[in-house]
Structure 1
Amino acid sequence: MNPRRTLATTGRILTQIRHDPRTIALLLIVPSLLVGLVAWIFADTPVFGVIGPAILALFPFIVMFLITSITTLRERRTGTLERLLSMPLGKGDLILGYTLAFGLLAVLQSAVAVGYAVWVCGLEIEGSVWLLLAVAVADAVLGTALGLLASAFARSEFQVVQFMPALVFPQILLGGIFLPREQLPDVLRAISDWLPLSHAIDALQAVAADSEDAAYVGGELLIIVAWIVGAVVLGSVTLRRRTP
């Protein structure tokens, strides 16, 4: 991989997104609005204080997955990737460039969502807000990496949506949002231990409640980062130049 080519790809993607106000709104505003909607639904109850950290993991993850996968797939279907890869640009440069571009957007998205949840919606955080932000960013980048991986296999936007039940919904159901993972049946608990969103939710809840030390949260972050790296590598290996 060539750092200059990777950064050039990153700059191209950011320039395209900068000229698309709807995508910017979807990335930066919609997750916060959804967090606010959940807080409003459970106003005057302790529920939002319990599920709020998990919600911070859920909505940015889903939005980044959809935006990244559809954007990458669209460039492949229109032949843009084929033209780019005909130049001295490797698949690794391309995928890493996408990851960096959407990773930077994930930082902004997570900062807006965390700030809105804490200072507007009143989500109480016993631990470090900065550590909470770091986990939220890692979670959003995870959605980006899995979206890139899904786009490598999908042939249409409809197929991208079909990946949601396979890659996203099981993580939501088993991540501890609806029922603490400790109360899941043993088999489902074992499966949830292998799902990255579970570790993001666990880390966010631990920081919010200040129930674990920094070493525990750091270990959860390492697991998330390992999934991100694995998804990026697998996505670069399996990426096709153009969808037939």
Structure 2
Amino acid sequence: MSITGGSVPVRHQAQHRGLSRPGRPGPSPYLATTARILRQLAADHRSVAMILVVPTLIITLMYYMFADLPSRPGAPSPFNNACLIMLGVFPLIVMFLITSITMQRERVSGTLERILTTPLRRFDLLAAYGTAFSIAAAVQATLACVVAFWLLGLRTAGSPALVIVIAIVNAVLGVGLGLLCSAFARTEFQAVQFMPVVIAPQLLLCGIIVPRDALPDWLQWISNALPASYALEALQQVGEHAELTGIAVRDIAVVIGFAVVALGLAAATLRRRTP
């Protein structure tokens, strides 16, 4: 650009070289959204109690329930069997409830709509929610397993670390299913109503009440299509075998796959707000 008495060079290319391209945000919005969700979650004391305190209290109550029950010599104690099941069930149920209700609250309050007006993409937004709640889920599962193994005397043939990993994977599955179901709810109450539809059939058919191989053939087919069946089987494998078995690896991979698919479907069905 020239002016009277000289010229002033203008390097537009240099000025814009350090800026990010429109529509392609870097990691900052994702990290900021994740941090905001974690701060909100930490400020909600009821949710913190639901995530951290309630599972530990119920497992402790179960310990005293089974304390005086006899067990056959060489067989696992009744508390061992029940506690393993609860370590798989609690993370799934609690994180499903917390995630679906919180996501619906964000939508009704208008927070979700405001976030979606920014360059943050839908998948990045769901990834931020998934990351935040997965961190909470990891803390929940780790605390419950630490109390069960080191305070209440839970024993498994496999490593306690594997039980913690499976419990975390189950919690992440609950996060994915909660995010997905929240997209179809109009109120927080409706989000809770999805639990009997999504969670209850899995608990009934995963082998807790009736062994899967004792179910009618058509129910076995349904059970084989539900992620909770693989989660419980993985925990049973760790409880019975000292080494990590191929069945346990397959089951963990299946549960992770279900969680990833649920997060992808949640991103595809994400709406700005409830009509």
TM-score by length of structure 2 reads: 0.85
The equivalent of 2:182 in structure 1 is 151
The equivalent of 1:235 in structure 2 is 266
When Rg is computed on C-alpha atoms for both structures, the one with the higher figure is: 2
Distance 2:119 2:159 in 1: 44
Aligned equivalent of 2:65, options 41, 50, 69: 41
Distance 2:204 2:112 in 1: 35
Distance 2:257 2:173 in 1: 10
Do the aligned partners of 2:30 and 2:125 also contact (CA within 8 Å) in 1?
A: yes
TM-score by length of structure 1 reads: 0.95
Q: What secondary structure does 1:243 align onto?
A: coil
**Aligned pair 1:182/2:206, yes or no?**
no
The equivalent of 2:5 in structure 1 is none
Aligned equivalent of 1:136, options 167, 174, 191: 167
The equivalent of 1:23 in structure 2 is 47
- Which of 226-235 and 52-61 deviates more? 52-61
Code of the residue aligned with 2:183 in structure 1: it is: A
Cα deviation for residue 212 of structure 1 reads 6.8
The equivalent of 2:148 in structure 1 is 117
The equivalent of 1:218 in structure 2 is 249
The equivalent of 1:57 in structure 2 is 88
- Which of 72-81 and 156-165 deviates more? 156-165
Do the aligned partners of 1:32 and 1:112 also contact (CA within 8 Å) in 2?
A: yes
Percent of aligned pairs with the same residue? 47
Number of aligned residue pairs: give it: 244
Q: What secondary structure does 1:153 align onto?
A: coil
Question: Which 4+ stretches in 1 moved above 3 angstroms?
Answer: 211-214
CA displacement 1:164-183 (0-9 Å, x = unmatched): 11100000111111122122
Choose between structure 1 and 2 for higher RCO, CA contacts under 8 A separated by at least 6 residues. 1
Distance 2:212 2:57 in 1: 27
Do the aligned partners of 1:206 and 1:212 also contact (CA within 8 Å) in 2?
A: no
Cα deviation for residue 39 of structure 1 reads 2.3
Cα deviation for residue 5 of structure 1 reads 2.1
- Which of 151-160 and 174-183 deviates more? 174-183
Which structure 2 segments of 5+ residues have no match? 1-23, 70-76
Higher helix fraction (1 or 2): 1
The equivalent of 1:127 in structure 2 is 158
CA displacement 1:116-150 (0-9 Å, x = unmatched): 11122222111011111111100011001100001
Q: Give the superposed CA RMSD.
A: 1.5
Cα deviation for residue 21 of structure 1 reads 2.1
